[in-house]
Structure 1
Amino acid sequence: MRRENKTFLLARKRILGWFGADVVHIGILIILAGGIISGAGGFRKNLTFSEGDIRGLPKADFKVRLDKFETEYYPNGSVKDWKSTLTVLEKEEPILSKVIEVNHPLSYKGFVFYQSSYGWNWTNTSVEIWVRKRKDPSFLRKTEMKVGQRVNLEGENIHISVLHFIPDFIINDRNEVTSRSLQPNNPAAFIEGCKGDEKIISGWIFSKFPDFARIHSEKETDLSFELKNFKAGQFSVIQAAKDPGVNFIWIGCGFLMLGLALAFYWPSREIKVILEESQGKTEVIAGGIASKSREALQSEFEEIMTSLRRLR
């Protein structure tokens, strides 16, 4: 631009760097908006499935069925992975199936299904009990039954039943039998033996501590009982989540990262030069400004000034 005997020059470099802070603020606002949308319309809910169970969800026009659940273990017995085969149903018709595991969820119509946890259905436990005679080492009877079931002992006029099963046996401060957890850390079964309608034995037997059995005999008996094995159906815990604001949050994060990149790695620079002609000479007045890296601007500024001096 020229006015009278003065010429004004303006040079700008990396102009987008000026807008880095603005882009960061826009990103923050978008993230906040996404959080508000998620808080108003989103939810998270844990669903417990046994194999074959079908569950519905609020505000969903479909249902989910658990076809299969399996737990993988390391050689030392610790859990390695849980895998659930889920099928999405619409109007009772299967739409898609997927095996989900930790960090590999199923997504459908804005809903996401995560593998969260697992457990055992102890209310329908099946136990294996070995019956021996103290005075006859060759005597052994193996019997399997479910909790609440009565089984006749082969060769003996006795029937036995399991009334209770506790996965992690403990006696609390009120002297009550309860389970410390749902994990099978100290499995115990309360058994009862009857001859006809007459009870002859009752008490707790322990899987991991067979010698710690607490059997009360109403009548003298030579029988001993061991809890050898137990089986319970596992259930899968699936976390269902709907987060309608998640896309806004990701977009906001994108703006935030872009703004930070512009502000820190693309700093803008500006140089202003005034050329004033007087008495056949040209006087040069120049200055520069940079949002960052002023040393780099100084080096570039000196190169430009050197070039202008050569034009004399």
Structure 2
Amino acid sequence: MLRIKQRASGLWRLLTSMSLGITLLLLAIVFAIAGTYNPQVFASPWFLLLSGLLTLNIVCTTGVRIRRLIGRDTTVPRVFNSQKDHRLISLGQCSPERVTSEAVGELKRLGFAVNLKEFEQGRLITGKKRAWVKFASPLLHLAVVLLVIGSVIGSMWGLKGHYQIEVPGQADLTKDGFPFDLRVNEFNIEYYEDGTPRQYTSSLAIIKGEEVEDTRNIAVNRPLKQQGVKVYQSTYGYNLEGSIKRGDETATFKVEEGDLIFLGGPAHLAMEVQWPRYLVYSQGIPFSMGIAELNEPLNILNMEVTFNERIPFTGLEVKSDPGLPLIWLSFIIGLLGLTLRLYVKPQTIWLLQGQREGNIELRLASGQRVKEQQHAEYIAQRLGGIFREECSFKV
């Protein structure tokens, strides 16, 4: 039993160690960099295991820290162990209750929340302002946990797809796990005066089952948002349909404009079309060029190439990331924790009241910030004035 407890204690120390957390975080950064080149990394067992261990480490260390923060102090603050870190105020034959009452009153007038505790060394009077700021570090830890969990959820259950849909046409997104299908009704391009595209938009119908649930227009930087799914307008282009006739044989083709159409033959011909211009290559070397028209045959050596139709398509990027709300929440919590940690500081003043040879002694200490030191100086002066008449007061 003792050996089990020792092993469990050792495992707990390992899980809550900062060195383990830093090591796991560095490894996670390496995996994340690799994932930018290969997204499959984020769904690999190694990355999921690493994310789980990092989350467990952060949760455990955060729990330990919160437990310390909300736990009760059982010892006098260490600031009283060194004479240079606090000042000693010696009072004469004063009433201990009067001293406590006046000290508490001055702290409250300065806006401090006051707490009293009895220790062997004496009565500890603690004044605190903005004590809740101590939870800034746990908030930062929680933000990292939510970020890791959100990323893992997104990598495991997120969906992503690129669809080129002819206009008019339909994409069956439900086959890929999305909650609805899309039908493209129209596609429009707006141009600048010089003829370059300014904006392109698609009119989409959201289809649930056999019914049209809604109709939306999307454009670049104006995506469709529906049921946790985002649909972005990403590309557009044209598909070319036609035929290649060689003797008595005829073959059809359908390619995206700009792709190569392999004509074959002894010269190994390939055609590239940027409508209405075309360029023919022979073994990668330009062979001929010209202008194409629909349904007008092009005679190229012993072949006849005909373009029957030029069909526009719209390119849509469809994404679903169920972990995204957690990631946004982690950014908000992290920003809050970082703001508290950097710009809001708690203020604490301690007075340790004791007795020595029948006289009252007050040990006064504060944090290292200027405001707290000013408050401590003010309290020392106030207490000196209050007890001057009935006590022999000195600092």
Q: Normalized against structure 2, the TM-score is what?
A: 0.53
Q: Which amino acid aligns with 1:67?
A: N
Quote the residue 1:177 is aligned against.
Answer: 270
Amino acid at match of 1:302: E
1:122 CA displacement = 2.5
Which of residues 313, 327, 341 is equivalent to 1:235? 313
1:81-120 equivalences in 2 (<5 Å)? 81-120=199-238
Identity %: 22
- Equivalents in 2 of 1:31, 1:168: separation in Å? 41
Aligned CA distance change for structure 1 residues 240 and 217 (closer, same or farther; 3 Å): closer
Report the secondary structure of 1:267's partner residue.
Answer: coil
User: Partner letter of residue 48 of structure 1?
Assistant: Q
Q: Is there any run of 5+ residues in structure 2 with no aligned partner, and where? A: 1-116, 246-252, 281-287, 293-297, 303-307, 388-395
Structure 1 residues 244, 216: closer, same or farther in 2, change over 3 A?
Answer: closer
Task: Quote the Cα distance in structure 1 between the aligned partners of 2:163 and 2:259.
Answer: 27
* Alpha carbons of structure 1 residues 265 and 110: separation in structure 2 relative to 1, 3 Å: same
Instruction: Judging by fraction of residues, say which structure has more strand.
Output: 1
Does residue 67 (structure 1) correspond to residue 145 (structure 2)? The answer is no
How far 1:56 sits from its partner (Å)? 1.6
For the Cα contact (< 8 Å) 1:165–1:189, is it kept in 2?
no
Residues 148, 164 of structure 1: 8 Å contact kept: no
Aligned pairs, how many?
241
What's the offset of the Cα at 1:307? 2.5
Match of 1:34 in 2: 150
Cα shift readout 1:263-287 (whole Å, capped 9, x = no counterpart): 1122112211113345675332111
- Cα distance in 2, alignment partners of residues 52 and 300 from structure 1: 75
SS in 2 for 1:244: coil
Q: 8 Å contact 1:21–1:259 — kept in the other structure?
A: yes
Summarize deviations over 1:85-105 as a string: whole Å, max 9, x none: 111111211101110111211
Residue 240 of structure 1: how far off its partner (Å): 0.8
The range that moved more, 35-44 or 280-289, is 280-289
Partner of 2:124: 8
Structure 2 residue identity aligned to 1:255: I
Q: For 1:86-130, what per-residue CA distance to the aligned partner results, in whole angstroms no more than 9, with x for missing partners?
A: 111112111011101112111222221111111112336xxxxxx
> Is the 1:64–1:86 Cα contact (8 Å) retained in structure 2?
yes
Contact 1:205 1:215 in 2 (8 A): no
Deviations 1:158-216 (A, max 9, x none): xxxxx99996699x9x974343xx755x81288xxxxxxxxxxxx74248xxxxxx988
- Other-structure match for 2:53: none
Tell me if the contact between 2:240 and 2:310 (Cα under 8 Å) persists in the aligned partners: yes
CA distance in structure 2 between the partners assigned to 1:59 and 1:232 by the alignment? 31
**Distance (whole Å) between structure 1 residues aligned to residue 320 and residue 188 of structure 2:** 25
2:383 matched to which residue of 1?
A: 308
Contact 1:5 1:277 in 2 (8 A): no
| Deviations, residues 269-309 of structure 1 (Å, cap 9, x unaligned) | 2211113345675332111236xxx2333233323333332
> Please, which runs of 5 or more residues in structure 1 have no aligned partner?
125-146, 150-162, 191-202, 208-213, 219-229
Structure scoring higher RCO (CA < 8 A, sep ≥ 6) equals: 1
TM-score by length of 1: 0.66
Residue 260 of structure 1: how far off its partner (Å): 0.8
